[in-house]
Amino acid sequence: MLKITKKVEYALIAIRHLQENQDALVSVSDLSASYGIPKEILAKTLQKLASANIVKSYKGPTGGYKASKKIAKTTLNDFFEILEGPTAIMDCYFQDGCDHLNSCNIRTPINKINDSIRNLFNNLTLADISQ
Amino acid sequence: MLKITKKVEYALIAIRHLQENQDALVSVSDLSASYGIPKEILAKTLQKLASANIVKSYKGPTGGYKASKKIAKTTLNDFFEILEGPTAIMDCYFQDGCDHLNSCNIRTPINKINDSIRNLFNNLTLADISQ
DNA sequence: TTTATATACGATTAAATTTGTCGTATATAA
DNA sequence: TTATATACGACAAATTTAATCGTATATAAA
Ligand code: FES
Ligand code: FES
């Protein structure tokens, strides 16, 4: 219930490390070894962050990842959605029909809760939660 | 990721129904049939709400549940915690040791995010999200 | 007093989601 | 040419959530 995934947890760890070592080029193997994170999962996670320009990737030997300038300004909502898709406490929030078709009496509360959470995450940046 | 459970969904449906029919005594069978919810799950869910005095229960034939006066003032956080235990995006929030022992670099961000969410839920009542 | 129907509660099974692994391709510095 | 890094997709294991089953207890009505 309302838990974040390991993917997001691992991404946070990686991002924090890259931010604290701004100019270093860090490989997945290094991060994986330092923090005890399965290499393949972390790799795929960083690939997603790279394609969203949150981090920069460099291929080949001596390659790895660096923090991008965009990183601090990124909102929590964008960060989560890059990794996990739309932020919603129920799937129906982003769908046309609702799960209960005829007799749904929770559309209003579900939307209110979700709006509040999205509003919260849209107004918190990765920089905000780091200090 | 950050989803609510069916238990909470079912509880919301039941609560909304009981609030809209303040004086009626509604049985689990009725609710279950009206909204297409598995009876046993809904029963256990309402039992939890009853022991927290969110709803009142009446045994025997013609028995059922009623909304209590406490219901509207209940915060979202209390409501969630009655059904699902402590609100936390990661288990370590409520534990002494953290999951990464030596090399945890995400304690601050995890706590900030969780504090924000708990603050949000503590300041929203069931009445707030219903209108 | 008997019977039917409701809540109460624990144990177990089924389904869905999340987490982790494996295999292969491509880029590039040495 | 070779070793090492990112990139990406398919699959398997593990965990969590959802649903079912079984039994006990209370109580209104016949
Ligand atoms: S079930 Fe989500 S709005 Fe009806
Ligand atoms: S893992 Fe949660 S605080 Fe370290």
For residue range A95-130, list pLDDT tens digits in order: 766 888 778 999 999 999 999 999 999 999 999 999
DSSP B42-96: HHHHHHHHHHTTSEEEE-STT-EEEE-TTGGG-BHHHHHHHHHSS--SSGGGGSS
Question: A71 in a domain, yes or no?
Answer: yes
Q: What is the pTM of this model?
A: 0.96
D strand bases under 7 Å from protein CB: 3-9, 17-22, 25-29
Query: In this structure, are strands B55-58 and B64-67 parallel, antiparallel, or unpaired?
Result: antiparallel
Which residue reads 């235990």 in tokens?
B85
B42 to A78, B49, B71: CA distances (angstroms): 35, 11, 18
Strand partners, A57: A65
| CA separation for the pair B76, B124 (Å, rounded) | 6
B86 to B50, B82, B89: CA distances (angstroms): 19, 9, 10
**Cβ–Cβ under 8 Å, residues A84 and A90:** no
What 8-state DSSP symbol labels residue A106? -
Question: Closest-CA residue in chain B for A112?
Answer: B129
C strand bases under 7 Å from protein CB: 4-10, 18-23, 26-30
A120 to A37, A56, B26, B27, B90: CA distances (angstroms): 29, 27, 37, 38, 18
Determine the residue of A96, A103, A108, A110 to mutate for testing ligand 1's pocket, defined as the one with the most ligand atoms within 8 A of the Cβ atom.
Answer: A110
What 8-state DSSP symbol labels residue A3? P
Question: B44 in a domain, yes or no?
Answer: yes
Q: Which residues of chain B have pLDDT under 50?
A: none
Question: A1 in a domain, yes or no?
Answer: no
Instruction: Look at ligand 1, atom 4, and give the residue with the nearest C-alpha.
Output: A98
Question: A29 in a domain, yes or no?
Answer: yes
Distance between Cα B99 and ligand 2 center (Å):
5
Question: B62 in a domain, yes or no?
Answer: yes
Give chain A's domain count: 1
**Cβ–Cβ under 8 Å, residues B114 and B94:** no
Question: A119 in a domain, yes or no?
Answer: yes
- pLDDT 10s digit of each residue in chain A, 131 long? 999 999 999 999 999 999 999 989 999 999 999 999 999 999 999 999 999 999 999 999 999 999 999 999 999 999 999 999 999 999 988 876 688 877 899 999 999 999 999 999 999 999 999 98
- The pLDDT score that the predictor gives to residue A103 is 83
Residue A22: give the domain boundaries: 6-130
CB atoms within 10 A of CB A18: 24
Copy the structure tokens of residue B52: 């927290």
Q: CATH no. for residue A80?
A: 1.10.10.10
- The pLDDT score that the predictor gives to residue A96 is 67
- The pLDDT score that the predictor gives to residue A129 is 96
**Cβ–Cβ under 8 Å, residues B128 and A109:** no
